[in-house]
Chain A
Amino acid sequence: MVRPVRRGDLDQVIDIDATVTGLEKRKYWLSVYRRYGSAQRDEQQFLVALARGRVVGFVIGEVRDWEFGSPPCGWVFAIDVDPQARLTGVGTQLLQAISARFRHIGVRKLRTMLALDNTLILSFFRSQGMMAGPLIALEMDLDS
């Protein structure tokens, strides 16, 4: 089952993220929850997937208008599944759920961005039908 996040889910979300990244980012997740979890706007989504009453995954995204020269489109900027719950379709359910919510408010394009060497998540998004888009991420060092 996938539903909007509740305050009581946050500890489990933090645990999943800490398991995957090795870092517990409590302050970060509290700020993410404040911005996306308690949002009244359909353009911001923070969804969790549950199995036997336990949070096993989450997805967070937002509709951005005209940034980077792009017409309004839905961005997924975080998705993760408890490693013990992977390969059971949870990731697919999460992405489909957020896509459905964006589609419902008229958004017709979904985008995300991730590291080139994150083959696991890159493979996941591609398995869901995502292909490289027209944008490119560029960076440079800011010398002191």
Chain B
Amino acid sequence: MRLQKNTSLALYSVLEFAGAPDRPIAAAEIADKYGVSAHHLAKVLAELARSGILASVRGAGGGYRFVGNAKRLTLMDIIQMFEDFADPPAQRGAAEPATPVDKALSAVLSEIDENIKATFKSITLATMMRLIERQQAAAAASPERTK
């Protein structure tokens, strides 16, 4: 599956902030690192701040700081701020799917959706940071692959 650009940006940002909870990080630093527009990133960070995951830090050396709980916040908590995970109309009790084909396809898509949701809901930021560390360790152990 693919995530929308804002969602990916939000995830990258939150992981950067959660990985350095003791220092404020300027939006420009993250924008530079990920090669994105600072203006675009600012909107994403503002949304994360509104949700209480980040807090803005004013003044020189300011930016944002992570104020969430990395052991409790999950990928789903971030993703659902930017993506629509509402059930499709048929499951919301609106008009029933019209045909057996609709119903069968809806069942297959529901199976996929439930797996996706369960995965995102079960991975906390803390777990995600451990996964990143593992990738970094694997990359460091295989310098030939990165040449």
A98 to B134, CA, bound (A): 22
Binding-face segment, A38-46, A70-78, A117-125: A117-125
In contact, A116 and B115 (Cβ under 8 angstroms) = yes
Within A97-137, the residues touching B (CB, 8 Å) are: 116-117, 119, 122-123, 126-127, 129, 132
User: B-side interface residues toward A, CB under 8 Å?
Assistant: 74, 114-115, 118-119, 121-124, 126-127, 130, 134
Judged by DSSP, the binding face of A is helix
**Can you list 18 contacts pairing A with B, beta carbon distance less than 8 Å?**
A116-B114, A116-B115, A116-B118, A117-B118, A119-B118, A119-B121, A119-B122, A122-B121, A123-B121, A123-B122, A123-B124, A126-B122, A126-B123, A126-B124, A126-B127, A127-B127, A127-B130, A129-B130
Residues of A within 8 A of B114 (CB): 116
A116 to B124, CA, bound (A): 16
- Minimum CB–CB distance from A104 to chain B (whole Å) comes to 23
Q: Which residue of chain B has the shortest Cβ distance to A131 in the bound complex? A: B131
Q: Which residue of chain B has the shortest Cβ distance to A132 in the bound complex? A: B119
Most chain-B Cβ atoms within 10 A of its Cβ — which of A117, A119, A122, A123?
A123
In contact, B118 and A122 (Cβ under 8 angstroms) = yes
Residues of B within 8 A of A126 (CB): 122-124, 127
Residues of A within 8 A of B124 (CB): 123, 126-127
- Minimum CB–CB distance from B127 to chain A (whole Å) comes to 5
A126 to B130, CA, bound (A): 10
Q: Which residue of chain B has the shortest Cβ distance to A129 in the bound complex? A: B130
In contact, B118 and A123 (Cβ under 8 angstroms) = no
A119 to B77, CA, bound (A): 13
Q: Which residue of chain A has the shortest Cβ distance to B114 in the bound complex? A: A116
In contact, A123 and B115 (Cβ under 8 angstroms) = no
Residues of B within 8 A of A119 (CB): 118, 121-122
Additional pairs, 20, CB under 8 Å, beyond known A116-B115, A126-B122, A132-B119: A116-B114, A116-B118, A117-B118, A119-B118, A119-B121, A119-B122, A122-B118, A122-B121, A122-B122, A123-B74, A123-B121, A123-B122, A123-B123, A126-B123, A126-B124, A126-B127, A127-B124, A127-B126, A129-B130, A129-B134
